[in-house]
Amino acid sequence: MYDKPMLSLEQTQRAMTAMIDKATGAPDRPVTIAIVDDNGDILSFARMDRCRKGPQRMALRKAYTCAISGQDSKDYAERMAGQGRTVAEMGDPMLAAVQGGVVVLHPGSGSIMGGIGVSGLAAQEDEDIAKLGLQALGLSA
Protein backbone atom coordinates (compact mmCIF):
# COMPACT_ATOMS: atom_id res chain seq x y z
CA MET A 1 0.00 0.00 0.00
CA TYR A 2 1.16 3.54 -0.76
CA ASP A 3 0.76 6.51 1.55
CA LYS A 4 0.74 9.70 -0.51
CA PRO A 5 0.88 13.11 1.21
CA MET A 6 -1.57 15.59 -0.28
CA LEU A 7 -2.41 19.25 0.17
CA SER A 8 -5.70 19.86 1.94
CA LEU A 9 -8.35 22.44 1.12
CA GLU A 10 -7.61 24.17 4.43
CA GLN A 11 -3.90 24.43 3.60
CA THR A 12 -4.47 25.79 0.11
CA GLN A 13 -7.01 28.32 1.38
CA ARG A 14 -4.59 29.49 4.07
CA ALA A 15 -1.80 29.85 1.50
CA MET A 16 -4.07 31.66 -0.96
CA THR A 17 -5.25 34.07 1.74
CA ALA A 18 -1.67 34.93 2.72
CA MET A 19 -0.66 35.57 -0.88
CA ILE A 20 -3.78 37.57 -1.72
CA ASP A 21 -3.34 39.70 1.42
CA LYS A 22 0.20 40.54 0.29
CA ALA A 23 -0.73 41.15 -3.34
CA THR A 24 -3.76 43.34 -2.65
CA GLY A 25 -1.53 45.74 -0.75
CA ALA A 26 -0.79 47.13 -4.22
CA PRO A 27 -4.17 46.90 -6.00
CA ASP A 28 -2.85 48.84 -9.00
CA ARG A 29 -0.42 45.94 -9.67
CA PRO A 30 -2.71 42.91 -10.19
CA VAL A 31 -1.47 39.33 -10.06
CA THR A 32 -2.83 35.87 -10.61
CA ILE A 33 -2.06 32.99 -8.24
CA ALA A 34 -2.40 29.26 -8.86
CA ILE A 35 -1.86 26.25 -6.61
CA VAL A 36 -1.72 22.78 -8.17
CA ASP A 37 -1.33 19.23 -6.89
CA ASP A 38 1.51 16.85 -7.74
CA ASN A 39 -0.05 16.09 -11.15
CA GLY A 40 -0.30 19.77 -12.01
CA ASP A 41 -4.07 19.82 -11.56
CA ILE A 42 -5.56 23.03 -10.17
CA LEU A 43 -6.41 23.14 -6.46
CA SER A 44 -6.90 26.88 -6.07
CA PHE A 45 -6.84 29.90 -8.38
CA ALA A 46 -7.25 33.64 -7.82
CA ARG A 47 -7.07 36.56 -10.21
CA MET A 48 -7.01 40.13 -8.99
CA ASP A 49 -9.29 42.59 -10.75
CA ARG A 50 -7.87 43.94 -14.02
CA CYS A 51 -5.20 41.25 -14.28
CA ARG A 52 -4.53 40.61 -17.95
CA LYS A 53 -4.84 37.23 -19.65
CA GLY A 54 -1.08 36.59 -19.97
CA PRO A 55 -0.41 36.46 -16.21
CA GLN A 56 -3.52 34.32 -15.72
CA ARG A 57 -2.13 31.65 -18.01
CA MET A 58 1.44 32.02 -16.77
CA ALA A 59 0.61 31.57 -13.07
CA LEU A 60 -0.92 28.19 -13.83
CA ARG A 61 2.01 27.22 -16.08
CA LYS A 62 4.55 28.18 -13.40
CA ALA A 63 2.74 26.11 -10.74
CA TYR A 64 2.42 23.18 -13.16
CA THR A 65 6.12 23.33 -14.05
CA CYS A 66 7.09 23.14 -10.39
CA ALA A 67 4.85 20.15 -9.75
CA ILE A 68 5.99 18.26 -12.85
CA SER A 69 9.71 19.07 -12.60
CA GLY A 70 10.00 18.89 -8.81
CA GLN A 71 11.87 22.19 -8.60
CA ASP A 72 11.20 25.92 -8.46
CA SER A 73 10.49 27.40 -11.89
CA LYS A 74 13.60 29.61 -11.70
CA ASP A 75 15.78 26.53 -11.09
CA TYR A 76 14.03 24.71 -13.92
CA ALA A 77 14.75 27.64 -16.25
CA GLU A 78 18.41 27.67 -15.21
CA ARG A 79 18.67 23.90 -15.74
CA MET A 80 17.18 24.16 -19.23
CA ALA A 81 19.49 27.04 -20.16
CA GLY A 82 22.51 25.18 -18.78
CA GLN A 83 21.68 22.24 -21.01
CA GLY A 84 21.15 24.52 -24.01
CA ARG A 85 17.54 23.38 -24.22
CA THR A 86 14.14 25.05 -24.43
CA VAL A 87 10.81 24.03 -22.94
CA ALA A 88 9.51 23.53 -26.48
CA GLU A 89 11.80 20.50 -26.76
CA MET A 90 10.04 18.87 -23.81
CA GLY A 91 6.81 18.44 -25.80
CA ASP A 92 4.60 19.83 -23.02
CA PRO A 93 3.08 23.26 -23.80
CA MET A 94 2.24 23.81 -20.12
CA LEU A 95 5.90 23.97 -19.03
CA ALA A 96 7.32 27.44 -18.38
CA ALA A 97 10.99 28.27 -17.85
CA VAL A 98 10.47 31.53 -15.96
CA GLN A 99 10.82 32.63 -12.34
CA GLY A 100 7.76 32.94 -10.10
CA GLY A 101 6.84 29.40 -9.15
CA VAL A 102 7.80 27.26 -6.16
CA VAL A 103 7.57 23.51 -5.69
CA VAL A 104 5.72 22.14 -2.65
CA LEU A 105 7.63 19.24 -1.10
CA HIS A 106 6.63 17.03 1.81
CA PRO A 107 9.03 17.86 4.66
CA GLY A 108 9.45 14.26 5.80
CA SER A 109 9.73 12.30 2.58
CA GLY A 110 10.66 15.02 0.10
CA SER A 111 7.89 13.85 -2.22
CA ILE A 112 6.30 16.40 -4.51
CA MET A 113 2.93 17.63 -3.25
CA GLY A 114 2.33 20.36 -5.82
CA GLY A 115 3.36 23.81 -6.94
CA ILE A 116 2.48 27.47 -6.49
CA GLY A 117 2.70 29.96 -9.33
CA VAL A 118 2.33 33.74 -9.26
CA SER A 119 2.38 36.05 -12.26
CA GLY A 120 1.83 39.72 -12.97
CA LEU A 121 4.75 41.48 -11.26
CA ALA A 122 8.52 41.40 -11.72
CA ALA A 123 9.85 37.83 -11.59
CA GLN A 124 11.41 38.16 -8.12
CA GLU A 125 8.24 39.73 -6.72
CA ASP A 126 6.17 36.86 -8.14
CA GLU A 127 8.50 34.35 -6.49
CA ASP A 128 8.45 36.21 -3.16
CA ILE A 129 4.64 36.02 -3.05
CA ALA A 130 4.74 32.32 -3.98
CA LYS A 131 7.22 31.67 -1.15
CA LEU A 132 4.85 33.43 1.26
CA GLY A 133 2.17 30.95 0.20
CA LEU A 134 4.57 28.06 0.66
CA GLN A 135 5.22 29.20 4.25
CA ALA A 136 1.49 29.51 4.90
CA LEU A 137 0.95 25.86 3.96
CA GLY A 138 2.52 25.00 7.33
CA LEU A 139 4.69 22.14 6.08
CA SER A 140 7.80 22.90 8.12
CA ALA A 141 9.42 19.79 9.52
CA gap 111, 21 in Å, rounded: 28
∠ CA(116), CA(79), CA(32), 5° rounding? 25
∠ CA(83), CA(87), CA(90), 5° rounding? 90
- What is the pLDDT at residue 29? 95
2 domain-assigned: no
- Global pTM reads 0.95
Provide the 10 A C-beta neighbour count for residue 13.
14
4 domain-assigned: no
141 domain-assigned: no
57 domain-assigned: yes
3 domain-assigned: no
Within 24-122, residue ranges assigned H as helices are: 53-69, 73-82
Domain count, the chain: 1
Please write the tens of the pLDDT for every residue from 36-94.
Answer: 999 999 999 999 999 999 999 999 999 999 999 999 999 999 999 999 998 888 889 99
93 domain-assigned: yes
Is the model's pLDDT at 141 over the cut of 60?
no
1 domain-assigned: no
70 domain-assigned: yes
CA gap 20, 25 in Å, rounded: 9
Give the residue numbers spanning the domain of 25. 9-136
**What average pLDDT is seen over the chain?**
95
Task: Give the CATH number of the domain where residue 28 resides.
Answer: 3.30.450.150
Q: 3-state DSSP helix/strand/coil percent for the chain, to nearest 5?
A: 45, 20, 40
